[in-house]
Amino acid sequence: MLKKNKNAVKLAAGIAIALLTMWLTFRKTDWLELESAFSNAQWGFVLLVLPALASSYVFRVYRWVTLLAPMKKVSKAIATPPLLTGFMLNSVLPGRLGEFARSALLSRRTDIPFVSSFATVVIARLFDGLALTGLTLVVMTAMWESLPTSIRGGLIAAGCGYIAILFILIALRKWHQGTARVLVYPLRKFHFNKLSSKIEKMLMDFAKGLDILKDPGEMFRVSALTVGVWLSLCASVIPVFYALEMSWSWYYPPLILVLAGFGMLIPTPAGAGTVHYALGVLFPAITGVSESQAKALAIVFHATQFIPVIIAGIMVSKGNIKFDDN
């Protein structure tokens, strides 16, 4: 009951934040200009988002199978439904709850412990974070002179944070027992011995899912697949510009993904409101694109990125889509 209450509070808070940021985004909107942007749209281009978006999830499935390989060989047919279901839940619930569901579903289908499965999900997300850091560096290089100091500092801090987490995970894999003890030391210092022992055991189980970090060849493969994920996502943004008849520069797609990524850090269902604010308010402030065009872009981008995933996840969870390895 307590867990259900916590989830209800998180959902209510996420919806409240979504409504607030949605209001902040659209409160000063010129609705006639926004209507004009949609009425002149070439909607056929939106269909081109789907193959690029689907390609990104194919790369995600191959990457997850690669991450799981040191523990057990898992087929793509087994890994795909939990992955899609997890992303579907991430798209409708705040707080990345789909990551836990994805790990739990895989554990039910295999004999891989939940904590070890979850470790591979964390690694995948870490590689996504490092990819976003790389895209951030690309955008910063292209726009350095025009970026405000505050935005530069925030982007640099985010990149440093991802790198710090990577080093912690590498240390946990290489010196798992010693690193686990260091991480729980503050709890032992304040005599939370029972809690620290429990967390230390969880960290040791978690370390089993980090086996991929010890093999340079597998690390390279995971890195290459991650590049495939994010190049596909960049490609999925481009048709939106053509649909809305917007001019764009080569660094706009990665910039949109970076801003959307920052928006997703605030836990709202599917990034509703926060992603719209990042693209409808921050994107035009950085690039000089008109606010009406940027807000139209935010709406179409958000819909094309999340609605297909939600539909696919629902169909998979109901058994309407089957996968095989052929």
Can you give the three-state secondary structure of the chain, one letter per residue?
A: CHHHHHHHHHHHHHHHHHHHHHHHHHCCCCHHHHHHHHHCCCHHHHHHHHHHHHHHHHHHHHHHHHHHCCCCCCCHHHHHHHHHHHHHHHHHCCCCHHHHHHHHHHHHHCCCCHHHHHHHHHHHHHHHHHHHHHHHHHHHHHHHHHCCHHHHHHHHHHHHHHHHHHHHHHHHHHCHHHHHHHHHHHHHHCCCHHHHHHHHHHHHHHHHCCHHHHCHHHHHHHHHHHHHHHHHHHHHHHHHHHHCCCCCCCCHHHHHHHHHHHHHCCCCHHHCCHHHHHHHHHHHHHHCCCHHHHHHHHHHHHHHHHHHHHHHHHHHHCCCCCCCCC
In a domain, 173, yes or no: yes
**Residue 250 pLDDT:** 92
Q: Calculate helix-pair angle for 76-92, 97-109, nearest 10 degrees.
A: 160
Average pLDDT over residues 79-106: 85
Domain that includes residue 228, residue range? 13-20+30-317
Higher pLDDT, 135 or 56: 56
* Closest alpha carbon to 19 in 217, 206, 235, 268: 268
76 is a domain residue = yes
Q: Does residue 324 lie within any of the structural domains?
A: no
Higher pLDDT, 264 or 145: 264
- Give a yes or no: residue 255 inside a domain: yes
- 15-29 pLDDT, tens digit per residue, is 888 888 888 888 888
**Among 52, 88, 37, residue whose Cα is nearest residue 237:** 52
**Residue 93 counted as domain residue:** yes
Structural domains counted in the chain: 1
Is 313 domain-assigned?
yes
47-92 pLDDT, tens per residue?
999 999 999 999 999 999 999 888 888 888 899 999 999 999 888 7
Longest dimension (CA), the chain: 66
Query: 112-121, 183-192, 315-324 — which is least confidently predicted?
Result: 315-324
In a domain, 2, yes or no: no
Per-residue pLDDT band for 155 (boundaries 50, 70, 90) equals low
Let me know how long the chain is. Answer: 326
Would 105 be classed as within a structural domain?
yes
Contact indicator for 318, 69 with CB cutoff of 8 Å: no
Distance CA 27, CA 3 (A): 36
